[in-house]
Structure 1
Amino acid sequence: MDHDRRGANGVDDEQTVPGVSNRIINSTVHGDVYQAASLTVHQHAVRTAAEWPHLVERIPPQAGCFQVRGESERLARALEPGENTVVVAPAAGVVVGLGGVGKTQLAAHYARTLWHGGELDVLVWITAATTTTEVVAGLAAAAAELLGDDTSDAERAARQFLAWLEPGPGRPSCRWLIVLDDVADPADLTGLWPPASPQGRTLVTSRRRDAAITMGRRIVPVGVFTPVDSQSYLTGALAADRQETDTELAALADDLGHLPLALSQAAAYLIDTGRIVSGPAGPRIFRGKSRCAVEQRGGETC
């Protein structure tokens, strides 16, 4: 008959540990003592995949000086699958142009139009202005939100998301748009281009025209405003009761090279200071100033 030999501390008065030549008598260990190695267990929170439609990152807001111009229509045609969807090739477009001409705003207008029109299930906006890290982080964020992936290994998560975009049998049809905005170095996209998909679109904006970023893709060059665009913008931005004539506003636009960002800054200056562009010398108050500001800021708002 077995007897209960458990002591006061809840430990057997005499125990043997399998594989170890010692005994525990009245809580005292007799024989060799071995210390177990520590074990750390990492637990990651379980994420829930987002439902469609889903937007990853915010589309840049529309600038006050934005003008719907010919480039907007050309971009829509370049990235519209249309009747050629049978061709298994990525609908990939590259918007190229100098800083301040409105590349980001053009891309944002296109993305916003598709999103609000219900033409997309997934929209991912990634600002890729500095390094590959930004692109990887953006794709990893998409993996976290859309797949419920753990992002502790961002590169693995980014690859997982790109693989998810690949069309395949048994996969739900997903209409997606990936925007890679302001790519500074084409090498940053090596191995990170979204895959070819009849339902997917990839849009890149960049100041570069390297073959690595443009070859095999539709190019949408963006230039400065036309004189008509400039006149329309300045007329709309400035109050109706101002004293400048159309000729004086046209001279101001000419002096600023019809650069959208420069015109935006000039209009803001006139509104804030109450100054008037009047006479032949009027536009010269801005000569060089707005262009320098564009170079210093390195960005664009129009």
Structure 2
Amino acid sequence: MALLRLLQRNPDGNIVFRETTSSDVPAYAILSHTWGKEEVTFQDMEASADMSKTVSKAGWRKIQFCAKQAAADGLQYFWIDTCCIDKKNAVELGAAINSMFRWYQNAARCYVYLSNVCKADGVDGERAWKEAFRTKLIAPRLVDFFSSEGERLGSKVTLETEIHGITRIAKNALRGDALSSFSIQERRSWAERRNTTIEEDEAYCLIGVFGVSMLPNYGEGREHAFRRLEEEIHKLYKGVDFEQYAVGLNLASIPEAAQFVAREEELSKMHKLLQHHNSRSAVVLHGLGGIGKTQLAVQYIRRHKEKHTAIFWLNANDEDSLRLSFRGIAQQILTHHPSTRELMNVDLEGDLDRVVSAVKAWLNLQDNTRWLMVYDNYDNPQTSNRFDRSAVDVRRYLPESDQGSIIITTRSANVTQGQRIPIQKLTSLEDGLKILSNTSRREDIENTDEIDPHAKALVVKLDGLPLALSTAGAYLEHVTTSFAEYLRLYEASWSKLQRTSPRLNSYEGSLYTTWQVTYDRIQEQNAASAQLLKLWAYFDKQDLWFGLLRHAYSTDDEWIQKLTEDELSFNESVRLLCEYGLAHLEPSLGRSSKSAGYGVHSCVHSWTISVLNDKWDVELARVALTCVASEVPTVLGH
């Protein structure tokens, strides 16, 4: 950091420079303002300068204001960018631009001088913030706002709501949270619409926000300055040679998480554990099914995807799914780097264990250190005290090198391959209402002063379970039913469930009841859709597609014939399940069919087994067996 040159008012009233050293920086105030005409420069303040000319400049008024206010706050020293930097010295100017953010960050107090705002105007309009450079609102801990008359208008704390509303700076950023925990895109947005005298300063003012160093080159133009800034940001997070390992994010492999809310504490903890380490970092998101673990992992990727050279999502439900996920990763790598030595000679349609080894070899390369692997739904881990053929030993699928980042989501308490972060139910009524509003698209829930008491009661009844809230919201999106009426349906379904399944705990009861309400509605609209969900209990929870079910067309059941008559009929039935949040589109897991595949959440699948099929249905089991058997390849001679 460059040496800081401060201003000091002597007992005789003269304002002079005070040169500091890196080990001797006294407490100081700092001024944030917009440059105007006749600003006082470094040369105007030198000992040899004609002070009569200096004090006659319009900018002298701001220096006097800052000196007076600093003294009132018990501070002897203060700093103003117009005159505390020798801008004719290119070396000093470059060092100052790179140190500016930290100077604001280390100031005892920051004064935002709004020269175009009178005290009578207040700070209610955006006009007030055109002079308050947004990133200088973030760096200092204590910020006060003053009118052109030098009258205090408020502080960063008292005006937080107004500042957030106009600048869109996150409240947590204003409160001092680590800037690295915010996405690159969000931090970039904090300086949008800032008008600078010199166009390159639009980019240079973000140097401190991203914690990078970059020499200014006035005359290079705005676009080139931003291009250089982007390069420095990528080097900081991804390494100098990041391009040779850069793989584009495959959105199709990642579940949708459009209704994510809250979880800021967990996101912050994940970032702290996963970023800026010289060795392997891993976190385990542990919690009940439907609590939001997968959505939290997706949100982390959305927020921090630019900090990784490659991000890969793996289905850790079973070993076959993991192997197929590795094949998908190999295809991604080869798409971006066709000459990858570790993969170019591997048959992706052949031995998948060889594919796994080849991908791990690429991840183990010495300079390939900034990747992120997400192992989702690792719910059946292999343990030493029990033998289970279906259990998975995830260690076989982890790269061996001490590098990269890993996220594991699991319902099991036995997963120890990383720092555990427990994911609990949402405790905030506001967060629950937010999910309900997002999924039901009934924005009036949040936008009215008086929130529907039945909406509140429903959120309380669903006990902070994101999956239950999303299911209820998806139902309410497609009907005109009021919250009061839905609550009545829920209570009736809950009472019935308690009679038929008295051993269910409250967690399972809340989920199962919302699904039952939705199932009853689907049954009214399309009997084939309801039967399809019931049939799903006899298949795996993932990757059900038309090509598989068409083998059942010859059965005598009318609903099966209707469902499998053609792909359009199948799509119509499964679309209804997707609209109500009970099924979702899923990427192919290695099948050759071009038909879209669908899956259900593991908790929904458990419900179809234990509630919809509380008794074994021989006919449905026969249908499932027929379909699966028809897809098994025949071997000549056998």
Provide TM-score, normalisation by structure 1: 0.67
Name the CA distance, whole Å, in 1 between partners of 2:311 and 2:444.
42
Equivalent residue for 2:464, pick from 258, 261, 264: 258
Shift of 1:285: 5.4
Give the drift of 1:105: 0.9
1:78 pairs, out of 265, 273, 281, with 273
Q: Which amino acid aligns with 1:107?
A: A
Equivalence for 2:434: 232
Q: Per-residue displacement from partner, 1:194-228 (whole Å, max 9, x unpaired)?
A: 23434x11111111110xx225x111111222233
Q: Which residue of 2 aligns with 1:161?
A: 359
Distance in 2 separating the partners of 1:68 and 1:233: 10
SS of aligned partner of 1:94: strand
Q: How does 1:110-259 map to 2 (within 5 A)?
A: 110-115=300-305, 118-129=306-317, 131-146=318-333, 147-148=343-344, 149-151=346-348, 152-168=350-366, 172-187=367-382, 188=392, 189-198=394-403, 200-210=404-414, 213-214=415-416, 217-226=418-427, 227-236=429-438, 237-241=440-444, 245-259=451-465
Equivalent pair of 1:75/1:93 in contact (CA under 8 Å): yes
Deviates more, 1:242-251 or 1:259-268: 242-251
Query: Amino acid of the residue matched to residue 434 of structure 2?
Result: S
| Aligned residue in 1 for 2:259 | 65
How far, CA to CA, are the matches of 1:206 and 1:234 in structure 2? 25
Task: Classify 1:238/1:157 alpha carbon distance in 2 versus 1 (closer, same or farther; 3 Å).
Answer: closer
Residue 269 of structure 1 aligns to a residue whose secondary structure is helix
CA distance in 2: counterparts of 1:176 and 1:126, whole angstroms: 13
Equivalent residue of 1:214, what SS?
A: coil
CA deviation digits over 1:97-134, x for unaligned, max 9? 1111111111111122222xx212121111122x2121
Output the amino acid matched with 1:127.
N
Pick the aligned partner of 2:473 from 264, 267, 282. Answer: 267
Quote the Cα distance in structure 1 between the aligned partners of 2:369 and 2:255.
25
Q: Which has the higher strand share?
A: 1
1:286 shift after superposition: 6.2
Residue 397 of structure 2 aligns with an amino acid whose one-letter code is: L
Q: CA RMSD in A?
A: 3.2
Q: Which residue in the other structure is 1:276 paired with?
A: 482
2:297 aligns to what?
A: 107
Per-residue Cα deviation, 1:237-268 (whole angstroms, up to 9, x for no partner)? 44245798343222111211221111111122
- The one-letter code matched in structure 1 to 2:471 is Q
CA contact (8 A) 1:57 1:124 kept: no
Letter in 2 for 1:220: I
1:44 aligns with none
Say which SS state the counterpart of residue 184 (structure 1) adopts.
coil
The answer on whether the counterparts of 1:231 and 1:250 sit within 8 Å (CA) in structure 2 is: yes
Asked if the contact 1:265/1:290 (under 8 Å) is kept, the reply is: no
Q: Comparing both structures, which one devotes a greater share of its residues to helix?
A: 2
Amino acid at match of 1:245: I
Shift of 1:274: 1.1
TM-score (norm 2): 0.34
Q: Single out whichever of 180-189 and 140-149 deviates more from structure 2.
A: 140-149
Runs (5+) with no aligned partner, structure 1: 1-49
SS at match of 2:374: strand
Supply the distance in 2 between the matched residues of 1:214 and 1:66 (Cα, whole angstroms): 26
CA contact (8 A) 1:225 1:260 kept: yes
How far apart are the structure 1 equivalents of 2:478 and 2:298? 27
Query: Is the Cα–Cα contact under 8 Å of residues 245 and 309 in structure 2 kept in the other structure?
Result: no
Matches within 5 A, 1:91-102: 91-102=281-292
Within 2, Cα distance between the matches of 1:93 and 1:220?
7
How many correspondences in the alignment? 237
Q: Percent identity?
A: 27
Alpha-carbon offset, residue 167 of structure 1: 4.4
Q: Secondary structure at the match of 1:258?
A: coil
Take 1:280 and 1:114, find their aligned partners in 2: how far apart are those partners? 38
Q: With a CA cutoff of 8 Å and minimum separation of 6, indicate the structure with the bigger relative contact order.
A: 1
2:453 and 2:251 mapped to 1: Cα distance?
Answer: 43
Distance 1:294 1:224, change over 3 A: farther
For 2:476 and 2:331, how far apart are their aligned partners in 1?
A: 46
SS of residue in 1 equivalent to 2:269: helix
